[in-house]
């Protein structure tokens, strides 16, 4: 039966019109992946000798062990963004007389077809063989190889579990993120040493092979968690119940309606983000980056002693307060491409519509800024740099993003995933994102280099503050631009539909 399921999956992929249209591109990507795998294999073959040359005072196995926990943490973040498992793979079989256990095992087994899971074969296994060739114990290295491979697969199934519960229990995932941040903080300040802890754990497994059972038990435990969750969810009535439950929970935005028509339009935009897969997955992707990425930068740049530290913090401020809006607002009208005609023919005032979008984007900038308010008590200079970046994003960048979003109409399918999906985006969006991020950073750097840092901050912050106070002026300009371009945008969306 497993063989038949594999044949069905292959036929589904090979008969897809998208696969045929992108055949040459797929062949090109396959060649790139092949060369990348050969490169990884080369690293694995020579890694033992490289570590022995670079770190002659330490055994190569000890050096390798020291970096394993760091790698597992980084890999988990990458897997969270790039790795996906869809229950839709087996959903067409649910009404057939097939054992659900078989379908779930097939689903989880298929998820193992990931480049991340080739790391044990391409790097860890050649490294272990090199160690054995140079005198290491075969039994001990085999136990060590099993333990490292089990931890990598543990990452794989743990990410599947976390992504499954993210929409239902986001607090649990946030707790994982907070724990990771705490470990980074403690390691950065030398309170604990992750490299030493990693070396102790994996060296103990090498010296006492019986300890290799612990990673294997962890792997079995998390696999069981995934199996049980899919077993509980793979019912058609459960799926319908979950969808209806989400629909009820989405009514929570109704509190905005008390602010009049503008509040109702803001609530509708939030519902668009929450109810549709593409904007919702974009939000899930951006949130961990906003919370996690700036922390190491702020920690490494504290205290601010030179221009590079200040540059890093100002860039982190632009990133913290503007990253989601840069990713979302550049496609502000493309999100509505499937029902854009309704915006033109419905009883929707353009000024109120643009105002609702503008104020909602301001809110999306203010929320992450408020999360880093504690920095004021840690270092007022760092908080000042983040505040200036926040004002610039609110007063200048926001207007520019909405302004240019009207000039690049592209259709977006709202129910597709955001991961590796560039539909609706273009090179112009990419270039605009770079300009929006780096122009204020470059301006600040110039003033810093000529010893006029305070003047630079005053100009950037003052310009942003004037933009915030005069937001009604910017909205009037955006409404005029929208009135001038709306029919061209509608025509472009109709052609794409």
pLDDT of residue 240: 45
**d(Cα 247, Cα 234) in Å, to the nearest integer?**
19
pLDDT of residue 56: 86
Q: Average pLDDT for residues 450-473, to the nearest whole number?
A: 88
Tokens linked to 458: 């005053």
Preceding amide of 303 cis, omega within 30: yes
State pLDDT tens for residues 58-97: 889 998 998 888 888 878 877 776 676 655 566 666 666 7
pLDDT for residue 128 is more than 70: yes
pLDDT of residue 250: 44
Q: What element of type H or E holds 404?
A: helix 398-405
pLDDT of residue 308: 65
State pLDDT tens for residues 474-489: 899 999 998 888 888 8
pLDDT for residue 237 is more than 50: no
Q: Average pLDDT for residues 163-169, to the nearest whole number?
A: 63
**d(Cα 205, Cα 414) in Å, to the nearest integer?**
48
Q: Which residue has the higher pLDDT, 302 or 342?
A: 342
Write 211-218 long-range contacts (CB < 8 A, 24+). Answer: 211/143, 211/147, 212/143, 212/144, 212/146, 212/147, 212/150, 214/147, 215/146, 215/147, 215/148, 215/150, 215/151, 215/154, 216/146, 216/147, 216/150, 218/150, 218/151, 218/154
Among residues 442, 155, 414, 157, the alpha carbon closest in space to that of 314 is found at 442
Tell me if residue 451 falls in helix, strand or coil: coil
Residue 417 binned pLDDT confidence (cut-offs 50, 70, 90): low
pLDDT of residue 189: 65
Sequence-ordered alpha helix ranges (H) in 55-124: 60-66, 68-82, 100-110, 119
The pLDDT mean for the chain works out to: 78
Q: Is the pTM above the cut of 0.95?
A: no
Give the rounded percent of residues in the chain with a pLDDT score beyond 90.
Answer: 10
Among residues 304, 332, 333, 331, the alpha carbon closest in space to that of 317 is found at 304
pLDDT for residue 383 is more than 90: no
Which residue spans within 258-298 are E strands per DSSP?
none
pLDDT for residue 41 is more than 80: yes
pLDDT of residue 144: 93
Tell me if residue 54 falls in helix, strand or coil: helix
pLDDT of residue 412: 77
Identify whether the C-beta of residue 401 lies closer than 8 Å to the C-beta of residue 325. yes
Cα distances (Å, whole numbers) of residue 128 to 61, 142, 146, 197, 418: 9, 8, 11, 21, 38
Residue 291 binned pLDDT confidence (cut-offs 50, 70, 90): low
pLDDT for residue 248 is more than 60: no
**d(Cα 314, Cα 460) in Å, to the nearest integer?**
11
């Amino acid at each position: 039966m497993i063989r038949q399921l594999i044949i069905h999956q292959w036929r589904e992929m090979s008969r897809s019109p998208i696969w045929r249209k992108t055949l040459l591109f797929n062949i090109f990507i396959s060649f790139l992946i092949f060369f990348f795998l050969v490169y990884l294999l080369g690293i694995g073959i020579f890694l033992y000798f490289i570590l022995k040359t670079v770190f002659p005072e330490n055994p190569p196995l000890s050096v390798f062990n020291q970096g394993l926990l760091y790698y597992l943490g980084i890999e988990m973040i990458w897997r969270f963004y790039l790795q996906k498992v869809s229950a839709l793979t087996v959903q067409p079989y649910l009404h057939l007389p097939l054992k659900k256990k078989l379908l779930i095992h097939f689903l989880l087994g298929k998820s193992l077809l990931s480049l991340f899971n080739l790391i044990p074969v391409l790097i860890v296994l050649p490294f272990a063989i090199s160690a054995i060739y140079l005198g290491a114990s075969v039994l001990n290295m085999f136990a060590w190889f099993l333990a490292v491979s089990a931890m990598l697969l543990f990452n794989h199934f743990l990410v599947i579990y976390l992504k499954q519960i993210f929409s239902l229990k986001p607090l649990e995932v946030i707790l994982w993120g907070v724990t990771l941040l705490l470990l980074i903080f403690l390691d950065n300040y030398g309170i604990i040493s992750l490299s030493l802890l990693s070396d102790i754990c994996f060296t103990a497994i090498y010296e006492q092979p019986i300890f290799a059972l612990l990673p294997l038990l962890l792997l079995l435990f998390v696999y069981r968690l995934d199996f049980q969750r899919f077993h509980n969810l793979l019912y058609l009535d459960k799926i319908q119940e979950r969808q209806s439950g989400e629909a009820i929970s989405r009514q929570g935005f109704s509190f905005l309606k008390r602010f009049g028509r503008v509040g109702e339009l803001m609530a509708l935009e939030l519902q668009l983000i929450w109810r549709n897969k593409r904007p919702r997955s974009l939000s899930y992707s951006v949130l961990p980056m906003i919370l996690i990425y700036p922390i190491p930068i702020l920690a490494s740049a504290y205290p601010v002693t030179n221009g590079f530290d200040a540059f890093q913090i100002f860039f982190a401020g632009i990133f913290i307060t503007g990253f989601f809006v840069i990713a979302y607002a550049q496609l502000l009208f493309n999100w509505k491409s499937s029902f854009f005609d309704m915006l033109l023919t419905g009883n929707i005032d353009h000024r109120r519509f643009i105002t609702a979008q503008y104020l909602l984007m301001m809110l999306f900038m203010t929320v992450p800024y408020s999360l880093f308010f504690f920095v004021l008590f840690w270092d007022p200079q760092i908080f000042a740099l983040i505040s200036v970046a926040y004002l610039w994003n609110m007063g200048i960048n926001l207007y520019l993003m909405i302004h240019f979003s009207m000039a690049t109409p592209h259709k977006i399918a709202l129910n597709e995933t955001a991961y590796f999906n560039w539909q609706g985006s273009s090179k112009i969006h990419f270039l605009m994102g770079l300009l929006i991020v780096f122009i204020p950073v470059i301006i600040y750097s110039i003033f810093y280099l000529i010893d006029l840092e305070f003047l630079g901050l005053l100009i950037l912050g003052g310009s942003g503050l004037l933009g915030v106070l005069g937001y009604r002026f910017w909205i009037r300009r955006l409404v005029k631009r929208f009135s001038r371009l709306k029919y061209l945008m509608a025509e472009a969306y109709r052609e794409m539909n």
